[in-house]
Structure formats: structure tokens, C-alpha cells
Chain A
Amino acid sequence: MAILEVTDLRKVYGGFTAVEGSSFEIERGEVFGVVGPNGAGKTTTLKMLAGLIEPTAGTAAVAGHTPGDAEMQRQLGFLPEESPLYEEMTAIGYLEFFADLYDVPGDVARERIHDSLDRLDLEHRDRRIGNMSKGMQRKVAIARALVNDPDVLIFDEPASGLDPLTTNYIIEFTRELSDEGKTIVFSAHNLFHVESICDRIVIMNDGRIVARGTLEEIRAAHGGTEYHVYATADGSDGLPDGHGPIEVTRENGQVRHLVADMSAVEAVREAVEADGGRVTDIQTQTPSLEEIFLDVASEPTAEGES
């Protein structure tokens, strides 16, 4: 059952359309990635889900509650791209304040806060936030998003601007949260992170969703796995219709056949052997999400696609 449902979400600022007709559903416990270039409408979409921005049209619901509803806000943990913290407060004081605001009983809050900070490996908890490093501040911000033990977490660029060590720590922590059954909506520019932890992904461009599905589905739809068949002879002529190689080149005295699927590989092998040659090597090449993203983002968005 979908815990988060988004239907025809639209946001217009003056004459500028930031998000146009976004619709998707997120299952409970899923890690859902939202990727796209700058200005694609990712952050606006996430903020509409969090109830920060009122949609111009369309709806978003968390467990049946609409954004802005106090009950929905209780089930939600939002981590914005920046860490807008009260720098004059201590980490503990800051987290206790938000726990209080979310009606978390004092003893439960203290236990939860210390547990989160332990897991995030945050020391100097009584230090003022303004005196903490950026990585430490980010950890406090993550702990704040968890202070109400939400079912749904919305992480907008959780590791933005952090060093690789802290970034890995935060990505691993996100994975742990997912393992615990939290539903996570995750946005990041680092597509390697998205690829490594997201179950499903939407790619946005110019305010529209231009690709969606699991990574495999997206690969299949936007340039799936490619096969390189190396042989001593050219077998391209003998291929039946529909199995034609994408590309045939000569490398180091061998013929390289670039084909799209396994049946084409088999057809090349048969054609080469019929010609008296033999297949010396078969290599597969899977495009990364980044390659697909660059490919998709460079395409003009089709009107009405969502």
C-alpha cells in the first residue's frame, strides 16, 4: 500500500512553472530517489510533499493526510538542503525543542535524541551549534528530522557540501534507516549515492518527470545493457532482421560487434562460425545512472509527459 501519493502536482510562481503535473506513489519502506539538474523542480516537489509549499494544483498525501495537516507533519521528517539551525542553541537543547514541538514526552525524547546522536557519532553535544563544523551541524539536522520518529523521511541533498567521509557516513545511515522500515524520499546530485540506495527513481527536467521506475527499468527504457562481441571474422552480414549490430569496428585484428541483447549475441556467434571464424570474447557494458541522466536531461522535455 502506498504511504505517499502524489497526483498531478503543479506549482507556478508568477509566470514560471516550477513543477508540472507530477504524479507518483511511494510504497511503505521504499527509498525513492528524485534526481534532475538544477532548476528541474526537485526541491519544489519535496517541499510540497513536506507541506512547506502550497501546490498550485494537484494533491500530495502521506498516509491519507494532506500537507499542512498537523497529523501529517507528525509522520514526516524533513531534512532541507541547507541546515537551518538555531546556532546559539546547543545540539541537545535544539533537539529537545523540536521534540517538545512534536509532543514527544521528555524521557522518550532524551532517549531518542541520544540514540540518534550515538548512531550519528556526534560528540560535543553540549556545544553551541554555531561552534560546530558543517558535518556536525548536518548530523544535528538529521537527528532533528528523526526526533519525532517519523514514518516518512524527506532528505533533500543530505550530503551536500560535506567531505567524503561524512558523506559516506550519512549515506550509510540513510541505508540503515531504510533497513529499519522508514520510507525515504531522497534527492541528491551525486547519482552514485542515488543508484546505491534507491529502490525507485524519478528523473525530473524542466519541472516534469521525464523518467521513472527501478534503475533496471530506466536503463531498459533509456539505453539498457550493451554487448560487445569480439570475433575473428565479421558476422554482421548473417544476422537476421531485428538483430543487426549497433556498431561494427575493427580493433587489434579482431572484429567488435556492438549489439543490444543476448539473442543478437547468439546470432553474431552463429554468423561468425558459419563464416569460419570464432568468437574470442564477449563483454557487457551497463550505462550508469549518470549517463542516463545526462542523456535524458539533454533531451527537450515532451509536452504532456509526466
Chain B
Amino acid sequence: MSDGRVRALVERFGRACRHLRETSARTGRIARWEVRRSAGTVDRKTVIALVVMLLAVGTAGFSAADDGLGLEREIYVVGVDEGSRYYDVAADSEQFRPVPLADVIAEHDGATDGDDIVVRGDATVDVVVTRDGRIGHVGENGAAAYDEFRTAIETYNANLMADEEDHAAAYPVHVTLEYRDRDRPGSTVSGGDDGDETEAQTGAVDGSNETGDGESAADDGGGDEPLQVPAIGGGGSTPSTGTPGSIAPPFPFTSLVLAFLFVVPMNFVIQAYGSTIMDERVKRRGELLLVSPASRSEIVAGKTLPYLLGLVGVVVAIALAIKGGPVAIAAALPIALLFLAAAFVGAMFARSFKELTFVTVTISVALTTYTFVPAIFTDVTSIALISPLTLVVMDLQNEPIQLGEYLFSTGPFYLSAAVCFLLGLGVYREEDMFAQKPIPAKVLDAIANRVRGPWSLPLLSILFLPFVFASQLLSVALLFAVPQSVAIPLVVLVAASVEEIAKSIHVYAGVTRSRFDATLRTAVVMGALSGGGFFVGEKLTHVVQFVGLPDLAVGTAAFGPAVSSEPLVLGAVFLAPLALHVGTAICSAVGASRGRAGYALGLLTAVLVHVAYNLGVFVLVA
């Protein structure tokens, strides 16, 4: 390499470093002033209210995770003597408060000759246990209290059995539970060394396999495989024994509630963040920042940084408080990032603070649902991995997390956040940010601002893939429990619709915002480029193979069946989607070139073709 070239490289590197330094400095200044300015808008009362609210949420969260909500504590009163064998039932149950029998019934000795129990007029009691062991109920709540008392008796008995050292006496029939992933094929081997191995019964929801009818084997060390029985309500997987009635799906309540604590502050922070972005737009206040030496991206980064750092701080603090590890923090960060990105783009599209409220509430509900609902199934199915919160739950349960699982869970969040910021940044300019347009028009403006020449179309198709991926994953998660006969057609329809919109919306935006001529030839070229780009990008979704989602029927409906190993089939399966995506994208593009109604018609046709294709492939290959 010549000296001149080296010098040029060094100069270029120096310029890049200088630019980076200046950019960082300006971003930092805007961030610093954003903090100072925002602090000026919050009065002392609001600060106190916020602190009180955060403390309340934190306390409620921790206590709920620790003890449950306690809403049903001592809601019923039981009249029972201490000598009764039912006294301990009432005393052990949180729902019941025992009171002496003499305090509630009219007879002096508590025994009645007839069938009726006579309760004193001034006594407050729901259930009465007579001295001869009969149980009755009184008052409006009596029937419900009676049912609960029966349940409490069963629980008490089960606990007694569990505490019994001689398990053979306590449990004449030994049941071994092993919770396994629902999608993993194979049967479970019974735990008893002399028990009969029976056919596995796969639960519809709980994912458990119940097998075996062997004898009690408290001292025999179990069966051929290690026992894995998640602790009910505890979130762990500590082996335990119990009655068949105690079998329930694993529900990591504690970890789930603690993981939810990460999401709670995000809902509040985006309100403040959305307001500060909106604040720049009302009365054109952001105009003067735009004429400063700071670039648009520096302004947005500067305004976002304090909120992002604030959320990072909160996430780290929560992780420390609940003894979460670095994985919990790394999993919560992309959620925070997407919350901010969605709030940013929402604030850029909203026309007023009223509209912004609607937008942020929608974001809160949608993202909280997306993150929280799948995490409920952490111990049940791989679907749960679509939410990074599942990683938090897993981390809190000390379960190992693979890199592939982390990327699968968080990838769509990182990419969606990046695309949201990109779209919002596109309209962060004088011509768009102060214009009063409906949200759909703003969305089209934002997309159209990224349409710069024909080659931007395939790129945008790829950029929209995270949304496609997230939408399809969400549809799989939401329809997971629905009967497959209903779920599969719905998932196929949703998947096709989302993909067709992702392939055509930027073409439509480009045409309506005069980025292209609305000729048939141009439409065909645009459609082909967009469809081709989408095909390339779609291959990225094969990451789902790593986590076994296509093994599920609804997963197959959304992402397609696993590819055959036959070369001919492999080739056909590879090329057929290309033809599909290009063909349907051209269909939508031609419609888009004919205006709004034409686009709707073209899109509908494309969706129908796509649905027919998916169902065909599903029937033929799967």
C-alpha cells in the first residue's frame, strides 16, 4: 500500500473519529438538557406521587410473589371447638377464621338433637362444625364457605399425607409425574421399579404425562429416568409426591410475577417519553433544534437516551432486588427498547396529546400482552420463547438459556425497535413533524420517506420482517389453546395477510407519495423487487427451526412445514415461495398503482392466493 493511500486512510479514520466524538458530544448535551428540562416540568407533588406509586407497585409485586395476593385471607368464619378434628383444618386454611362453637350456636353444649343447627342471632358465622362432627352452613355466604371448607379439608388431608413418613401408607398408589416439552415426542417411563409401563397420555394444556400404577416406591430411588415434578405454584422443578388430585400444570407464579415487575415501569416511562417527543411537535418547539448543528438522529438519540438509561437503571435495580442474573437484564433490555421505539413512532404519528394517550395505551396493552402472556407457558411449551420475559422467568428459575433461544426471543424486539426508530426518524423533519395528518397518512409518509429508488423496496421488505415475524408468533401464541380446526385456518389467514401487507405497503406508499410513476411496467418491477426481497428475508425466519416451533401444528401453519431432505422437493420448496412472493407482490403493486381501491383489491387477491398456497403446501407436505 502506498504512503498516499495509508495517509488517506489515516485521515479518513481521523475524520470518522472526530465525527463520532462530535456526535456523541452533541447527543450527550441534548440528553443532559432533556433531563434538566423535564425535571423542570415535574413539580414536587408529582414526584412524591410517583415515588409512592412505585413503592406501592413494588411492594404489591414482591408480596404477591411471596405470599400471593392474600385477598381471600380469613374471609369465612367457622364455628368449631378446639377439640374437634376439623379445628386444625380451619386454623391451617388462610380462608377461614375459627371461633369457639359456644360463641355462635344457641344450645349450651353445642350439640343438637335435630338436623338443624341453631345459630345465635348476633353471631357472625358461615360454617358450623358440631361436636358430633356434622358440618353445616348458614347465611348468604354459607354455601360458598361450605364448598371451600370441603376443599380445605381435602387440602389438609393431602398435606397430612405428604408429611407422612411412611409414603407407602399415605399413598397406596404411586404416581410419578414428569413434565416434558409438549412438542417433544416420546413416552414417559413410570417411576416404580416394578410398576407397569403404560401408554403416555399427553395433556392438552398442561403438557404432563401421567403414567404408572406401580406400588409405592418411597425408598426405591425412583424409575429409569430422574423425576421432574415442578413445584406447584413455586415455579421450581423440585421432585415431590402427592395425590392425583394435586396434579396441575406447572405455573411459575413467583418468577412470573417478579418478571412482570420489569414491564411495569416501562409502561410509565413511555408515557413521559411519548410526551416529550410530542412536546417538540406542539407549537413547533422542535423547529429550533432542527436548525441547530445537531442532526436529526443526534436530537432523537439525545432525547431518548435519558429514558433508555433510566429504564436500564430500573431494570438493573429490579434484577438485583429479585436476584435475577445478567440474562434477566439482557432479556429485559430489548423489551425496554421496543417500548421506547414504539412510543417514539407513536408520538411522531399522533396529532395531539389526546391521540398520543390512545397510542401509548395501545402500545402498553399490546406489548405487555405480547411479553407477558407467552411467559405464562414458560414451563409448558416452546411458544413461550417468543417473549423475552420467558427468558427472565427461566433465569429466575435458574434454568440454562442457550444463545439461540436468546436470539430467537430478543431478535424480533431489537429489529422491530430499530425499524420503529428508523420510521420515526424519517418523519422527524419540519415538513412532517408539524403537519396535522391522520395517523395512516403519517405512517405512509414515514414509509415513503424511506423509499429512495427501486432498490430500497427489497430492503424495506426485509426490514418489515421483524413485524411479520412478531405478528405471526403472536397469532400462534394467542391461538395456541384454540382447537386446531379453528386455529390453523386463522393462523394461515393472519400469516398471509401480514406478509402481503409487508410486501406491498411501501410500494403503495411510494406510489401515493409520487416516488414512482404509476405505470403498469413500473408496478411489475416494483412488485418483483419487493417480493424478491421478502423471499430473501423470509429465509431468516428459519431461525424458528432452532427452537422447534414448527413441530407444533399452529407453528407449521404460520411458518410452513419443515423442508424435506429430497433434492427435488427441496428445490421445489425453495423456489415455490419465491414464485409466490414475487407473484402476489406484483399483484398488490399493480393494484397500488391504480389508487387506494385498486390497492385494496390487489392486496385482497394476493392474500387469497397466499392462503390457498399455504393451505396447499400444508396439506401436501405436512
Contacts and interface: CB of A to CB of B under 8 A. Distances in A.
A85 B290 contact: no
B40 A101 contact: no
Interface residues of B, number: 26
Interface residues of A, number: 30
B131 interface: no
B448 to A, nearest CB: 11
A14 B292 CA distance: 27
B294 interface: yes
B285 A52 contact: no
Given A47-B430, A53-B431, A89-B40, A98 B287 contact: no
B108 interface: no
A93 B285 contact: no
A217 interface: no
Contacts of B431: 13, 53-54
A80 B288 contact: yes
Contact of A73 (B36, B283, B291, B429): B291
Interface in B280-312: 283-295
Interface string A93-131: 100011011110000000000000000000000001000
Given A14-B514, A100-B29, A70 B287 contact: no
Interface in A57-104: 70-71, 73-74, 76, 78, 80, 82, 84-86, 88-89, 93, 97-98, 100-103
B28 to A, nearest CB: 10
A103 B23 CA distance: 12
A93 B36 contact: yes
A91 B284 CA distance: 18
A229 B83 CA distance: 131
B515 interface: no
A84 B37 CA distance: 15
Given A14-B514, A82-B283, A101-B26, A88 B291 contact: no
A84 B287 contact: yes
A96 to B, nearest CB: 9
Nearest to B434: A84
Given A51-B291, A73-B291, A101-B294, A84 B283 contact: yes
A128 B283 CA distance: 17
A102 B292 contact: yes
Given A85-B285, A101-B33, 7 more contacts: A51-B290, A52-B291, A73-B292, A74-B293, A80-B287, A88-B41, A144-B288
A52 B284 CA distance: 12
A53 B430 contact: yes
Contacts of B295: 70
B30 interface: yes
Interface string B17-38: 0000010001001100100110
A88 B40 contact: yes
A7 to B, nearest CB: 21
Nearest to B288: A84
Contact of B291 (A50, A82, A86, A100): A50
A238 B41 CA distance: 80
Contacts of B30: 101
Interface string A4-23: 00000000011000000000
Contacts of B288: 78, 80, 84, 98, 144
B353 to A, nearest CB: 15
Given A89-B37, A97-B33, A101-B26, A82 B292 contact: no
Given A82-B284, A100-B33, A52 B40 contact: no
Contacts of B36: 93, 97
Nearest to B40: A88
Do most interface residues of chain B lie in helix, strand or loop, or is the interface mixed?
A: helix
Nearest to A75: B293
A49 B295 CA distance: 16
20 contacts: A52-B287, A52-B290, A54-B431, A70-B294, A71-B293, A73-B293, A74-B293, A76-B291, A78-B288, A78-B291, A82-B283, A84-B285, A85-B285, A86-B37, A89-B40, A101-B26, A101-B29, A101-B33, A101-B293, A102-B293
A93 B37 CA distance: 9
Interface string B39-69: 0110000000000000000000000000000
A151 B429 CA distance: 25
A91 to B, nearest CB: 13
Interface string A249-264: 0000000000000000
A293 to B, nearest CB: 27
Given A47-B430, A88-B37, A93-B36, A70 B284 contact: no
B293 A70 contact: yes
A189 B22 CA distance: 40
Name the residue among B26, B292, B429 with the largest chain A CB count within 10 angstroms: B292
B430 A84 contact: no
A70 B26 CA distance: 11
Contacts of B429: 54
A73 B289 CA distance: 11
A14 B448 CA distance: 12
A130 to B, nearest CB: 10
**Which 10 A-B residue pairings sit nearest by Cβ, starting from the closest?**
A70-B293, A84-B285, A84-B284, A52-B430, A88-B40, A73-B293, A97-B33, A78-B291, A88-B41, A101-B292
Contacts of A100: 29, 33
Contacts of A53: 430-431
Interface string B250-294: 000000000000000000000000000000000111111111111
Contacts of A128: 40
A31 to B, nearest CB: 20
B542 to A, nearest CB: 40
Contacts of A89: 37, 40
A71 B294 CA distance: 10
A111 B286 CA distance: 26
Nearest to B292: A101
A103 B22 CA distance: 10
Contacts of B287: 52, 80, 84
Nearest to A74: B293
